[in-house]
Every structure is written in C-alpha cells, then in structure tokens.
Structure 1
Amino acid sequence: MARSIRGAMGTVSLILIAGSLVLMFFVVLSGVKRTTPLDKTYFLRATTSGVQGARPVSQWNYFYVCGEGNNDCGSPVPALPFGYAWVGGGEGAPSGLLGSHGKGTTSKYYYYMWRFGWVFYLIALIANVMSFLTCLLAPCSRLASGISGFFVANALFWFTLAASLMTATFVKARDDFRSNGQDASIGRYAFGFTWGAWAAMFLATVFLFLGCGAGGSSSRKERRSTVINGNGTTDREVSMFRRNRSKRSARGSFIDNESQRRVKDEYA
C-alpha cells in the first residue's frame, strides 16, 4: 500500500515538474519565434509612440524588447535594462522609469528590480531542471522522493523571489505609464505561465515529501518484528519455536494421562 502511494505521488510530481518547466520555457523563449503562444507572451505592453527613440508599441520580454505581436525585436540582452526600449531617447517616457542606469535610460529601482528578478528566474529554471532529473526515481524510492523534494523546494524558493519581483516591477511600470497618459497592460500569458509554474512546483514539493513519508511507520514495524536476538534467531523464529513447544508439551501431557489411566485400570 505504501509503495503504491509513493509511486502515485512520485508520478504526479514528475508530471507537475515537467509542466512547470514547459511554462517557464514559454516565458524565457518569448520573442524568439513568432509562433503561438510565444508571440502573445510578454510581461508588459505599453503605447510608446510618444516616446523619443521608442517603437509605437513596446513589449518587454525575457531577453528582448519587441514591437506589437513580438515583432521588430531588438538584440537579445541578458537582464536588459528597462529603458532599452528607448535607447538614445526617452523624452516622453514616464519620469519614474528614467534614470542614470542602463546607458542613461533606466531608473535605479527598475534597473535592479528587473535585474534581480531576471537572475532569480534563471536560477529557478536550472534548479527545476535538476529536480526533474532526480524526480525520475521518486516513484521507486523514499530517498529519491526526499532528495527530489529538497531540489524542488530549492527551485521554488528562487522562483518565488523571481515571480514576486517581476510582478511588482511590471505592475508598477504599468501604473507609471497609465499615470503618464499612455495605455499599458500586463501580459496575461507571461504572468499566467509564471504563476502557473509556481503552483505546479508547490504541489510537486508537497507530493514528494508526502511520498517520502509514506510507509515509514510500517517499515519500522517490519524491522522491529525481525530484530535478531543475541542467540542469532529472530523474534518470529522465537515465537514459532514457542508455539511448537507448547504443542509438543500438550501432546506429552495427553500421553502421560493415558498411561496413568491404563495403570490404574490394571491394578483395579
């Protein structure tokens, strides 16, 4: 029973981790190709036609700043500064987004918030890949379930930081654009994929630790029942020996009683 529960927990966790990886890769690869859902995946979409040096519509992705529909993307930049949407310009952009960082395009707040969120997202992705590899053995072993649970919990920690920072950054940027009289909206696909992956990783962590604990008490009872005594016999063997001896003693007493009755009959 415990093995079947552990196997089911491990299998479900493996499916959840695989699903979270797919969702995370959708976010990371947004802007790379113009296929669905990658062409609809972005963190923020804003009308920047009134901003000097910017596209009419700017969409912020993981590696790129693109135009509408994730077309007309710039060069891929790791942890790209927020203001790379208007390099060489910036006049007309919300004042809260402008600053001296990122070649004089981005404020300190947005520069570091997005940069740390970007790095934490990448760390979580790598850790989640490692947890998927260890989870392949989770349905077969309590130890593998425990190790996999630790790896997923580690990935979940970094991913929680990443998702929280990125959500806070782009929600605030959307509000700054709207306060400046420009249309802006949060990317439903990017944040839906992100928080969907978070939920899958959280459930996988719970299931893996439950699978690790499944059958622990029964296995300990099994070990206690087969503890070897000092004379080299197990408790089961001792109990069986006692039952056999009691049966032999019962048969012996029956024979003695019969012989006594026969002697009495002869003298009578």
Structure 2
Amino acid sequence: MALSHASLSLISMIFLAGSIVMLFFVILSGVTSTSPLSQTYFLRADTHGISGARAISQWTYFRICGDGNTDCSASYADPPVGYAWDGNPNNAPAELAGGHGGDTTSSSYFFMWRFGWVFYLIGLFFEVLTFGSGFLALCSRLGSAVSGLLSLISLVFLTVGVSLMTATFVKMRNAFVADGRDASVGTYAFGFSWGAWTALLISTILFCIGRHSNKADVPSSGRRWGRRSRSTRSHRSYEGRRVKEEYP
C-alpha cells in the first residue's frame, strides 16, 4: 500500500533532523571537550618544529586546536588553514604555506577551504528552512513541493561544501605525509559530514515522492462511479421513452 504524502513527509523530516544534528556536531567541534566533539576534527597532523605551531594540530570548523581539541585558537569565520602557524613559517610544508591569511596559506588551500566553509554553512541554513516548511508538507502537497525545492537547494550547497572540504583536507594530509610528518583525516568529521549528506539526499527524494503521491482511492473512485451510474440510468430512460413512442 502506497504511503500518503503526510507519512512520507514525516519520514523525510526524521532524516532531515538527523542530517541537521550531524552538521551541528561538525560545526561545534572544538567548542567543548565533551565526546564526540573532542574527537571531531577535519585533519590531525604533526606540526612540531613549524614556527608558531603546536606539536599536534587539529583543524576544526571554527578553530585550530591541539591534541584532543584542547588548547584551541580563537574562533574565526572560515579560518585559513595556515593559522596553525605563524606568517612566513619555517619548516611548514611548502605546498601549504603562501601569501594569503597573513602570509600563512597558499592560494589554492585558502580558496578551497573558504568556499567549502561557506557552502557548508549555506547548506545547513537551507536545511533548517526545509525543516520548518516540513510542517506544511504534513498538511498539503504544496507544502511537500516547497520542502522538496528547499531540500534540493540545500543538497546542492552541501554537496559542493562537503566535496571541497574533503578535497582540501585529503590534499593537506598528503602534503604533510610527503613532508615526512604523520597526518590523518578525521573519521568523525567526515563521517558526520557525508552521513548528513546521505540523510539529506534521502529526505529530498521522499519530499519529492510525497509531492506526487496519489490521492486516496476511495473518494475519487466513488465520484467516478457515481458519474458513470447517473449516465447509464439516463441513457436507459431515454431508450425506454423512445421505444414507447414508436410502439404505442
């Protein structure tokens, strides 16, 4: 039996809520030492010997922290990845250092992370709007259409944001490893990010299916049956009158 648009919308909102929660886990990483936020970071790298850097650096959404997301920097909007060390640093991987962000970050990493950071946040913004419109989707197919559109917009932004984020920090890990330093991408941050993307994709599909779900069969069938019955009775009455007129 096909689910109604209200049921599909409710399931969509559950997946959407899960996506929003996972995105907040990533965005709030480094704010507190509470698990799982203390284990959530994009990249962990050995930065000892780099001028102005910690022995271990962990890159989170708003901050750059030390081991275990402690000893964190101040919070910045889209912080350049080179804020882990001083300007014009010594011993930093040459691929990462450059003239952006106070002479801390190369141009490619500066813009990759900046656009990824912004698209990630815009995706979350549209997810929250979608969740609000989801209550309308419970009541009407028009609400499902609006929610589906907002969810699709959010999916586009989040796809770009998570993809750029992944590319940025995988390339950074490779640069550290090539420089003879230990480095690893964060399992929690990328797990939450791609998990949120997957949940949003499912939610978008369900909202769109809810928009095109069929009306209840019983009322519509009843109306069609009623019209056919009246038409049949009228035709038979006409035939009876015609026979009587021809054969008095």
Partner residue, 1:242: 234
Partner residue, 1:175: 174
Residue by residue over 1:24-46, the C-alpha shift from the partner in whole angstroms, topping out at 9 and shown as x without a partner, is 00001000111011101000000
- Which whole-Å CA distance do the structure 2 matches of 1:177 and 1:156 have between them? 31
Measure how far apart 1:52 and its partner are: 1.2
- Unpaired runs of 5+ residues, structure 1, are 227-233, 254-259, 261-268
Measure how far apart 1:51 and its partner are: 1.0
Task: Name the amino acid aligned to 2:117.
Answer: W
Measure how far apart 1:8 and its partner are: 2.1
Q: Is the 8 A contact 2:88 2:97 kept in 1?
A: no
Task: Name the amino acid aligned to 2:205.
Answer: V
- Which whole-Å CA distance do the structure 1 matches of 2:222 and 2:146 have between them? 23
Partner residue, 2:84: 85
| Equivalence map 1:126-145=2 (5 Å) | 126-145=125-144
Partner residue, 1:25: 24
Task: Name the amino acid aligned to 1:79.
Answer: D
Call closer, same or farther: CA 1:44–1:244 in 2, change over 3 Å. same
Residue by residue over 1:125-146, the C-alpha shift from the partner in whole angstroms, topping out at 9 and shown as x without a partner, is 1011000111122232111111
Call closer, same or farther: CA 1:218–1:154 in 2, change over 3 Å. farther
Partner residue, 2:186: 187
Q: TM-score, normalised by structure 1?
A: 0.83
Partner residue, 1:162: 161
Classify the secondary structure of the residue corresponding to 2:143: helix
Partner residue, 1:207: 206
| Equivalence map 1:1-268=2 (5 Å) | 4-88=3-87, 90-215=89-214, 225=224, 235=227, 238-239=230-231, 241-242=233-234, 245=237, 249=240
Classify the secondary structure of the residue corresponding to 1:11: helix
Classify the secondary structure of the residue corresponding to 1:24: helix
Residue by residue over 1:191-237, the C-alpha shift from the partner in whole angstroms, topping out at 9 and shown as x without a partner, is 00000000001011111111111116969x769949xxxxxxx9468
- Which whole-Å CA distance do the structure 1 matches of 2:88 and 2:52 have between them? 5
Classify the secondary structure of the residue corresponding to 1:59: strand
- Which whole-Å CA distance do the structure 2 matches of 1:88 and 1:98 have between them? 9
Q: Is the 8 A contact 2:119 2:157 kept in 1?
A: yes
Residue by residue over 1:245-266, the C-alpha shift from the partner in whole angstroms, topping out at 9 and shown as x without a partner, is 479x59x98xxxxxx9xxxxxx
Call closer, same or farther: CA 1:223–1:113 in 2, change over 3 Å. farther
Task: Name the amino acid aligned to 1:186.
Answer: V
Q: TM-score, normalised by structure 2?
A: 0.89
- Unpaired runs of 5+ residues, structure 2, are none
Call closer, same or farther: CA 1:100–1:88 in 2, change over 3 Å. closer
- Which whole-Å CA distance do the structure 2 matches of 1:88 and 1:105 have between them? 5
Q: Is the 8 A contact 1:65 1:73 kept in 2?
A: yes
Call closer, same or farther: CA 1:238–1:115 in 2, change over 3 Å. same
- Which whole-Å CA distance do the structure 2 matches of 1:69 and 1:201 have between them? 29
How large is the Cα RMSD of the aligned pairs? 2.9
- Which whole-Å CA distance do the structure 2 matches of 1:162 and 1:117 have between them? 4
- Which whole-Å CA distance do the structure 2 matches of 1:68 and 1:223 have between them? 69
* Larger Cα-atom Rg: 1
Classify the secondary structure of the residue corresponding to 1:46: strand
Measure how far apart 1:50 and its partner are: 1.9
- Which whole-Å CA distance do the structure 2 matches of 1:95 and 1:158 have between them? 31
Q: Percent identity?
A: 46
